[in-house]
Amino acid sequence: MRSKQSPAITLLFLIVLSTSAFGQKGKKDFQNEINQKTASIEPKVISWYEDIHQNPELSNREFRTAMLVAKHLERLDIEVTTGIAHTGVVGVLKGGLPGPVIAIRADMDALPVVEEVDLPFASKVRTTYNDQEVGVMHACGHDAHVACLMGAAEVLAGMRHQLKGTILFIFQPAEEGPPAGEEGGAELMVQEGIFNDLQPEAVFALHTDGRFDAGTLAVRPYGMCAGADQLEIIVKGKQSHGAFPWLGNDPIVIASQIVIGLQVIPSRQLDMTKALSLVTIGSIQGGVRGNIIPNEVRMLGTIRTFDAEIREDFHRRIRQTAQNIAEASGATAEVIISGSSPVTFNDPDLLTRMTPTLVRVTGEGKLITPSVEMGAEDFPYLTQNAKGLYFYLGVRTPGKEIESQHSPTYYVDESSLQLGVRALSSLAVDYLNGR
C-alpha distances in Å from residue 215, one per residue of 73, 139, 204:
27, 20, 19
CB 395, min distance to Zn ion, A: 12
Could you give the count of Cα atoms lying within 13 Å of 289 in the half-sphere of its Cβ? 5
Task: Compute φ and ψ for 47, nearest 5 degrees.
Answer: -70, -35
Q: Which is nearer to Zn ion, 172 or 433 (CB)?
A: 172
Contacts of residue 158, Cβ cutoff 8 Å, sequence gap at least 6 = 37
Contacts of residue 276, Cβ cutoff 8 Å, sequence gap at least 6 = 226, 304, 305, 306, 372, 374
Q: Which is nearer to Zn ion, 113 or 368 (CB)?
A: 113
219 binds Zn ion (CB under 5 A): no
CB 58, min distance to Zn ion, A: 12
Distance CA 426, CA 167 (A): 12
CB 85, min distance to Zn ion, A: 17
CB 216, min distance to Zn ion, A: 18
Build a one-symbol-per-residue string for 131-170: x at contacts with Zn ion by CB under 5 A, - elsewhere: ---------x------------------------------
Q: Which is nearer to Zn ion, 140 or 276 (CB)?
A: 140
Instruction: Report DSSP letters for 160-202, one per residue.
Output: GGG-EEEEEEEEES-TT-PPTT---SHHHHHHTTTTSS---SE
User: H or E element: which one contains 54?
Assistant: helix 27-54
Residues 82-141 that bind Zn ion (CB under 5 A): 140
Instruction: Please list the residues that pair with 241 across neighbouring strands.
Output: 292
Contacts of residue 250, Cβ cutoff 8 Å, sequence gap at least 6 = 237, 240, 293, 329
Q: Is 50 exposed, middle or buried (0-12, 13-18, 19+ CB in 10 A)?
A: middle
User: Closest by alpha carbon to 376, among 276, 245, 256, 262?
Assistant: 276
Q: Which residue is nearest to Zn ion (CB)?
A: 140
Burial 223-249 (b: 16+ CB within 10 A, else e): bbbbbbbebebbbbbbebeeeeeeebb
CB 119, min distance to Zn ion, A: 19
Please answer whether residues 95 and 160 qualify as being in contact, where contact means their C-beta atoms are separated by less than 8 angstroms.
Answer: yes
Q: Which is nearer to Zn ion, 30 or 411 (CB)?
A: 411
Q: Which is nearer to Zn ion, 295 or 405 (CB)?
A: 405
> Count of CB atoms within 10 A of residue 213's CB?
19
C-alpha torsion sign, points 396, 397, 402, 404: negative
CB 406, min distance to Zn ion, A: 6
Task: Compute φ and ψ for 83, nearest 5 degrees.
Answer: 70, 25
CB 207, min distance to Zn ion, A: 6
Please answer whether residues 103 and 200 qualify as being in contact, where contact means their C-beta atoms are separated by less than 8 angstroms.
Answer: yes
CB 227, min distance to Zn ion, A: 15
Build a one-symbol-per-residue string for 38-77: x at contacts with Zn ion by CB under 5 A, - elsewhere: ----------------------------------------
Please answer whether residues 129 and 174 qualify as being in contact, where contact means their C-beta atoms are separated by less than 8 angstroms.
Answer: no
Q: Which is nearer to Zn ion, 287 or 375 (CB)?
A: 375
Q: Which is nearer to Zn ion, 106 or 150 (CB)?
A: 106
Q: Which is nearer to Zn ion, 177 or 286 (CB)?
A: 177
Binding residues for Zn ion, how many (CB under 5 A)? Answer: 1
Please answer whether residues 167 and 93 qualify as being in contact, where contact means their C-beta atoms are separated by less than 8 angstroms.
Answer: yes
Q: Which is nearer to Zn ion, 140 or 148 (CB)?
A: 140
Q: Which is nearer to Zn ion, 158 or 179 (CB)?
A: 179
CB 393, min distance to Zn ion, A: 11
CB 203, min distance to Zn ion, A: 16
Residues that bind Zn ion (CB under 5 A): 140
